[in-house]
Chains A and B, each alone.
Chain A
Amino acid sequence: MGLSLSQRRRLIPWMFAIPGLLWLIVFFAIPLANQASVSLMTGDPEAGYSLTWAFDTYTSAISDYKEQFLRSFLYAGAATVIDLVIAFPLAYFMAYKAGRWRNLMLLLVVLPFFMSYVLRTVSWQLILADNGWVVERLRDVGLVADDGRVLATGTAVIAGIAYNFLPFMVLPLYVALERIDRRFVEAATDLYASRLTAFRKVTLPLAIPGIFAGSLLVFIPACGDFVNAALLGTPRQYMIGNVVQSKFLNVLDYPTAAALSFILMTIILVGIVLYSRLLGTRNLTEAAT
């Protein structure tokens, strides 16, 4: 090759990077760009579509499906909070108290991942069945009315989402907690901070990157999820993912489906930025990668 040594040296990293980057450009970036143009098209499946810059698809998509949007964020937000509450003590125990059980516990946290996702969700149909043990007990204590049910309600969908994404919350929390230098906490207690104050002023602030990463890892997939709503809910519990899926695969209304997925992405991105401001995480990618 007629290249100088320094030119060739500069090409080396690209040699490694280009096959993978090219794949992601062709099958991730270009489809997203294409999706953007589809969302501005009008037409129907038979006659074909043409780009008419139909921005009103966006406004009508929002007004027609604001209920499903709100429900998506409500369910995903509720599941994220539930997971944070369940996961924090577990991650704390694994990081500081588990001793030689730590690795076993880590394995147990990720093991359910390897049982089929759809199958695990189906098994929640069995757990929350109307005449099942769980619902009977909830009736006994009066949390569910005698003729009430859990399956086919928002509660079931939230429970399913919280269950399915729990490991995504546990792992980053564990990593963040495990990384904290315990001498900071000792220093705080030596300086007469109570246990609670030391936790609130030292451990919790240092765990924030984990809380941030865990919340995103739960919230983002939960927002777009439609498996839980489809299997544990009814059309009255449908989330935006269900709408996108049926628009694409059943109704064949591609522009609306494309607009809906773009709105979802935009809201999530804006949410991430606001959330990172709220938690004071300066560098977004630093926290997430």
Chain B
Amino acid sequence: MRASDRARNWALGIWSAAALLFLFIPVFLIVLFSFNDNKGRFNFTWQGFTLDHWKEPFRDPDLAKAMENSLLIAAVTTVAAVLLGTLLAVALTRYRFRGQGAAGFFVFLPMATPEVVLGASLLAMFLVAGIDTGFWTIVIAHVMFTVSYVVVTVRARLEGMDPYIEEAAQDLGAGVWTTFFKVTLPMIAPGVVAAAVLAAAISIDDYVVTSFNAGQTQTFPLYIFGATRQGVPPEVNVLGTMLLVGVLLLMGLNLAVQKALARRDRAVVEEPPSQPPTPAVPAAGPSAVAG
């Protein structure tokens, strides 16, 4: 290797490490300050180590309620969005029908619309229709903008799969739903799980759309935003860290199960599966958008 090449590689490596560091500094600070023994309202300067906030993360009942709402909303949203999105993805990849291209473009549109427009127009409709905003309007909004992400993620998995397997099932007399539940779904399961994790993560984290459609209901991001004026309590850092760890565990679990299943398949068929397992959750999301 020439010296100039080595210098170039080093420069690239250092730049990349610095970029990753840039991405991580805020995350690191949030975790660090969850252990801060802060005096006063603000949690901005390091004043000593304590585990107090970790022992009692739900000391503030408002925060506890906001977190509970966020988790419930995410759970309902995930189930609905995965159901609607998976079926849509199957329709868009496994069948040919009139208006398919238009439908695909339509599904992509919410992702290309600024969130503030999504939130504002939904609120305007609820106002016109005389619907009070609250828990369920948040769920409706979250399902609306997570469905597209589910479609993209599941579609990426479907496109890498052999359609003849499903045709074989139908040739052997399986009906549409039998084929879907016994053949398609098991094959795309890793993609569906990845989409579910992604949908849950987007829902729990959303501030913009939620702020329009929440009414008097508090969620975790709304609570944090509201708390910025009086100082964000360290318990928020604790819960944020817990969420991060929770999502990581789910992703790891998904990956481990996928690997175990792939190993089992190899043992049965005695040859490697034609498709590599889908990458971890987020890579399947935004990168599929780009692909």
Chain A residues with a Cβ under 8 A of chain B = 10, 12-17, 19-21, 23-24, 27-32, 34-35, 38, 86-87, 89-90, 92-94, 97-98, 103, 105-120, 122-127, 129, 163, 166-168, 170-172, 174-176, 209-210, 213-214, 216-217, 220-221, 223-227, 230-231, 241, 244-245, 248-249, 254, 257-258, 261-262, 264-265, 268, 272, 285, 288-289
Grouping DSSP codes into helix (H, G, I), strand (E, B) and loop, the A interface class, with mixed when no group exceeds half, is helix
Contact residues, B200-256 vs A (CB, 8 A): 201, 204-205, 207-208, 211-212, 220-221, 224-225, 228, 232, 236-237, 240-241, 243-244, 247-248
The answer to whether A244 touches B120, judged by C-beta atoms less than 8 angstroms apart, is yes
Q: Does B185 contact A (CB under 8 A)?
A: no
The answer to whether A261 touches B221, judged by C-beta atoms less than 8 angstroms apart, is no
State the CA gap A35–B92 with chains docked (Å).
29
**A21, A38, A257: most-surrounded residue (chain B CB, <10 A):** A21
The answer to whether B19 touches A87, judged by C-beta atoms less than 8 angstroms apart, is yes
* Minimum CB distance partner of A289 in chain B: B108
Q: Which residues of B contact A114 (CB under 8 A)?
A: 201, 205, 243-244, 247-248
Cβ contacts A to B, 12 pairs, < 8 Å:
A14-B91, A15-B176, A21-B88, A31-B125, A35-B120, A90-B15, A105-B20, A114-B247, A115-B27, A116-B205, A117-B207, A265-B114
Contact residues, B86-119 vs A (CB, 8 A): 87-88, 90-92, 94-97, 100, 103-110, 112-118
Q: Say yes or no: A12-B19 contact (C-beta < 8 A), given A221-B114, A288-B289.
A: no
Q: Does B134 contact A (CB under 8 A)?
A: no
Q: Which residues of B contact A226 (CB under 8 A)?
A: 116, 208
The answer to whether A34 touches B125, judged by C-beta atoms less than 8 angstroms apart, is yes
- Measured CB to CB, the closest approach of chain A to B19, in angstroms, equals 4
Q: Does B23 contact A (CB under 8 A)?
A: yes
Contact of A224 among B24, B100, B115, B211 (CB under 8 A): B115
The answer to whether A241 touches B116, judged by C-beta atoms less than 8 angstroms apart, is yes
Q: Does B7 contact A (CB under 8 A)?
A: no
**Chain B interface extent, by class:** 35 or more
The answer to whether B113 touches A34, judged by C-beta atoms less than 8 angstroms apart, is no
* Minimum CB distance partner of A285 in chain B: B105
* Minimum CB distance partner of A269 in chain B: B112
The answer to whether A257 touches B120, judged by C-beta atoms less than 8 angstroms apart, is yes
State the CA gap A115–B122 with chains docked (Å).
26
State the CA gap A89–B122 with chains docked (Å).
40
Instruction: Give the 4 A-B CB pairs with smallest separation, nearest first.
Output: A224-B114, A172-B290, A13-B95, A110-B282
Q: Does B144 contact A (CB under 8 A)?
A: yes
Q: Which residues of B contact A118 (CB under 8 A)?
A: 207, 221, 224-225
The answer to whether B97 touches A116, judged by C-beta atoms less than 8 angstroms apart, is no
**Given A23-B84, A171-B287, 17 additional A-B pairs, CB 8 A:** A17-B97, A20-B151, A31-B121, A31-B124, A89-B12, A90-B15, A105-B16, A111-B248, A112-B27, A123-B30, A125-B44, A163-B23, A168-B286, A224-B116, A227-B207, A245-B212, A265-B113
The answer to whether A126 touches B29, judged by C-beta atoms less than 8 angstroms apart, is yes
The answer to whether A261 touches B121, judged by C-beta atoms less than 8 angstroms apart, is yes
Grouping DSSP codes into helix (H, G, I), strand (E, B) and loop, the B interface class, with mixed when no group exceeds half, is helix
State the CA gap A177–B104 with chains docked (Å).
26
Q: Does B61 contact A (CB under 8 A)?
A: no
State the CA gap A266–B13 with chains docked (Å).
40
Q: Say yes or no: A261-B120 contact (C-beta < 8 A), given A122-B228, A124-B26, A227-B207.
A: yes
State the CA gap A257–B107 with chains docked (Å).
25
Q: Does B195 contact A (CB under 8 A)?
A: no
State the CA gap A231–B127 with chains docked (Å).
28
The answer to whether A127 touches B110, judged by C-beta atoms less than 8 angstroms apart, is no
* Minimum CB distance partner of A226 in chain B: B116
Q: Which residues of A contact B205 (CB under 8 A)?
A: 113-114, 116-117
State the CA gap A167–B27 with chains docked (Å).
14
State the CA gap A139–B176 with chains docked (Å).
68
Contact of A16 among B88, B118, B241 (CB under 8 A): B88
Q: Which residues of A contact B83 (CB under 8 A)?
A: 19
State the CA gap A221–B141 with chains docked (Å).
17
* Minimum CB distance partner of A134 in chain B: B25
